[in-house]
Amino acid sequence: MSEKQLFRQTKLKLAGYYTTVMSLILGLCSVAVYKLEAYNQQESLHRELVSIAGTLHDGLEPVLTQPGQIEPDVERLIPNLCIVVNQCNALSRVPRIHVLSVINQSGYYVNFWDLSKTLIATTQLHLKSRVEPHTAVSFLTNHHANVYAVTLRLKTVKGQAWGYLEVGRSLDHSKAYLHTLLIFLSIGYPIAVLGIGLASWWLAGIAMRPVTDSYIKIQQFTADAAHELRTPIAAMQATLETALIDEANTNPEKQGIFQTLHRQNLRLNGLIQDLMLLTRLDLTTTPSDFQPCNLNVILADLIEEFSAMAWEKSLQVRFSATKELEVMGHEDDLYRLMGNLIINAIHYSREHGEILISLQEHKQMAQINVTDHGPGIPVAAQARIFERFYRVNQDRSRATGGTGLGLAIAQSIAQYHQGRLSVVSQVGLGSTFTVELPLARSYPLSPDSTVSTTA
């Protein structure tokens, strides 16, 4: 993929990591807030009911004389108390003496149970859903589906066991509050995540800026260094060529040294040319001056050009094309792209083998396949073979004079022409490099349609 795409993907990954982590933290905090608020609601209700039950307990025991009997003074203390044996059809007409106001509020109720746990009296007439007698079997804290209750033992004024006092409250109010809180968190969470995502994208851009600036500086340094080295390298080349001519017949020993220096100088000059080409492709973001290029002609020329190299290894190069295909591009760059792939196939093919080159149309793209029957590329190395200066086999690559830039250049040229370069390889069977370029009739493609390199 191009550097622009690489930086964009890296920025997107950073933003994604930031957003995922912060969203997870926010989600856990939201759950914790909801659970904590639910716990606080329960604890607050429990303390309130314990206080009310304790107050009623202390006020009722001095007026209770007979176990299981509701005294008139009890009806005066607790308004709207209904005796179950009277069928609870009417409110109590006993004059009130002192009212604990909270139990008269909506949602609260008081139950009296005898020692056999039979309901004697209740204030539940005003509740929408009554607590049935069989539900109050736990005489400590009774937490039902829709009510919360606290139960205390009652004694008569003489210390005899009287029965049980149950003070409870409907959970409708608490549930409504928690439901509102849940709705708020459910709506607020995705909005917060969206805000986190936008902030993460902005922060990722800030984090990537030094990297981008450094990369641009490295590119510029490479371009400047390569340009500055061209002149002394050219001067050295001319000097060595002159020395070779002068020492051709006079000093064979010196001539051998000069020939070695000449070869290394040529290699260094080729490396500089490769670096300058990569820099040009990196710095040129918008392709321009493209011309129609006939791929059939380019491939035929290259096969003829490298036929001698293939003949030295007894290789057969077979070329097949379904029809004439043209693409838009720079002809010299396309020659370099295809040439690098063919040279690579020749170098790594076994002697007496064959190289297959095919050209066909595939989904509005010109597809070129270069297949060799060499040693293949390990899976672990396939993801890195398009990196600059990377070699699968260091010793063999140096022996063939490679610099490790051939496939990197081929990839950059393919991307520059809005195409892609990929490889399929099996160890011991060989490799197939595939180039896909947009056809001239479908050009230009939008910049976003450029496909990244895969391996």
Please identify, among 125, 157, 177, the residue that sits at the C-terminal boundary of a domain. Answer: 177
Is the pLDDT at 356 greater than 80? The verdict is yes
The boundaries of the domain holding residue 117 are 16-177
Asked, for residue 160, whether it belongs to a domain, the answer is: yes
CATH of the domain at 351: 3.30.565.10
Asked whether residue 238 is assigned to any structural domain, the reply reads no
Is residue 103 in a domain? yes
**What is the number of structural domains in the chain?**
2
Choice among 72-81, 310-319, 348-357, 374-383 with the minimum mean pLDDT:
72-81
306 and 434: one domain? yes
Query: What pLDDT, on a 0 to 100 scale, did the predictor assign at position 363?
Result: 84
pLDDT digits (tens, 9 = 90+) for 60-75: 888 888 888 888 888 7
- Structure tokens, 130: 């009554």
pLDDT of residue 245: 72
129 pLDDT higher than 70:
no
pLDDT tens across 67-120, in order? 888 888 887 778 778 887 666 654 444 444 444 555 666 678 888 988 888 888
> Which CATH number does the domain housing residue 160 bear?
3.30.450
Task: Tell me if 156 is assigned to some domain.
Answer: yes
- On whether residue 155 sits in a domain, the answer given is yes
Residues 6+ apart with CB under 8 A from 273: none
- How far is Cα 122 from Cα 113, in angstroms, rounded to an integer? 9
Q: Which residue has the higher pLDDT, 367 or 84?
A: 367
Q: Which residue, of 148, 177, 206, is where some domain finishes?
A: 177
The one-letter amino acid at 55: T
**Which H, E and C letters describe 217-257, residue by residue?**
HHHHHHHHHHHHHHHHHHHHHHHHHHHHHHCCCCCHHHHHH
- CA-based angle 330:333:338, to the nearest 5? 120
d(CA 396, CA 329): 33
| Under 8 Å between Cβ of 164 and 152 | yes
**163 falls within a domain:** yes
Let me know whether 171 and 298 are in one domain. no
Give the pTM.
0.53
Taking all residues of the chain, what is their mean pLDDT, rounded to a whole number? 79
Here the tokens at position 362 are 């595939």
CA distances from 6 to 11, 131, 172 (A): 9, 66, 56
- Residue 73: the pLDDT is 82
Alpha carbon distance 357, 369 (integer Å): 6
Last residue of a domain, one of 177, 199, 221: 177
233 lies in a domain?
Answer: no
With respect to residue 242, please indicate whether it lies within any of the assigned structural domains. no
Do 356 and 430 contact (CB within 8 A), yes or no?
Answer: no
